[in-house]
Amino acid sequence: MDKQVKVIVGMSGGVDSSVAASILLEQGYAVEGLFMKNWEEDDGTEFCSAKEDLEDAGKICHQLGIDLHTANFAAEYWDNVFEEFLSEYAAGRTPNPDVLCNREIKFNLFVAHASRLGADYIATGHYVRGVHKPDGAFELLTGVDANKDQSYFLQDVPLGQLAKCLFPLGDLTKPEVRAIAEKHGFENHQKKDSTGICFIGERRFRDFLNTYLPANPGEIFSVSGDRLGEHMGLAFYTLGQRQGLGIGGAAGFADAPWYVVSKNLEANKLIVTQNQDLLDAHALTCSAFNWLLDPAPALPLTCSARIRYRQGSQACIVSQISDGQFHVQFPSPQRAITPGQYVCLYQDDHCLGGAVIESVCTHTLQTIVF
């Protein structure tokens, strides 16, 4: 390995990026770290762990004998991730800020910043595999640890940016990574994985969202048109949701859970059901795909897909409806396909790319008006 090949690792203070940096050092790369601060609000409160994470990243880099750079991308994060997050919720959709953050910050601003620091590659602690071919082509593969595979979160990153990244953890399982960290004496070898949306922390999601979006109460109806109660605002609910509806034990109905099945944005009404089968659909439409293949595959395409993280691969057929609009058909019904989320395509262990879900097809409840 040519020691002049310089790699800057995105250091989060967690065990994954720490082990990624140590592996690259052992492989002979010239390694440096970069800690990215992406959120200013609540800095220094119990909701934000940035200060602690920076300290942990600094300790690891000092232990490894590598430099740690810092960069503040909070303004860009607000403009390109958080504002879209809010606008999607205000429009009654359910966005995925983790996918947006990877596209806009971690594999966009990070790549550009690392290049200015003289890096040949960047690296992260994602559980995916990247294949750099002799002809310069790049392929994104799922991580070998099925419980940790994070290819779903990278589906919207442009192929050219992924080609500049190394993924040292793709062939490892999480227990193996923790064992490596313990072997190296890393203090964070048992540090809890970050979960949920980074800028919300441990707060209730509804409390956080209410800080930025005005409450817009309305009525809750069953699919048969019975008024069951009031909602706080359609932005605070998502399809398939059963918790926090406040309508348990509604008079005249069986003592069974209620599920959000539709939103009537025009009338500001939330539609719920006790019949889970009404959440099923066989198809969706989506926006233009970010293909992680060059050239893009010919359509129609028979492959598999995930409509949410940690979902098992589902057989599907992808076809094009028009410029910028595609149709994904599933032989088996899919539960609670949610506009604003992403559909990610796979061929065996190859991640083919993904797109934003725009609408649910053959869903008879989308146009209910009471």
The answer to whether 48 is a known catalytic residue is no
C-alpha atoms less than 13 angstroms from C-alpha of 125 in its C-beta half-sphere: 24
Taking alpha carbons only, the member of 284, 363, 343 closest to residue 96 is 343
Residue carrying structure tokens 């959000």: 260
Distance in angstroms (rounded) separating the CA atoms of residues 330 and 328: 7
3-state class (DSSP) for residue 320: strand
For residue 225, what is the DSSP state? S
The answer to whether 101 is a known catalytic residue is yes
Out of 48, 61, 101, 351, pick the active-site residue. Answer: 101
Out of 198, 303, 316, 344, pick the active-site residue. Answer: 198
- Measured from the Cβ of residue 195, the count of other Cβ atoms closer than 10 Å reads 7
Asked whether 177 and 16 are in contact (CB, 8 A), the reply is yes
Q: How far is CA 356 from the centre of its chain?
A: 12
Please state, in angstroms and as integers, the Cα–Cα distance from residue 294 to each residue in 74, 165, 330, 355, following that order: 33, 17, 25, 16
Residue carrying structure tokens 């146009």: 367
H helices present in 1-129, as ranges: 15-26, 50-64, 74-77, 83-90, 97-101, 110-116
What string of DSSP letters covers 239-304? Answer: TT--TT---TT-TTS-S---EEEEEETTTTEEEEES-GGGGEEEEEEE---EESSSSPPPSSEEEE
Residues labelled catalytic: 101, 198
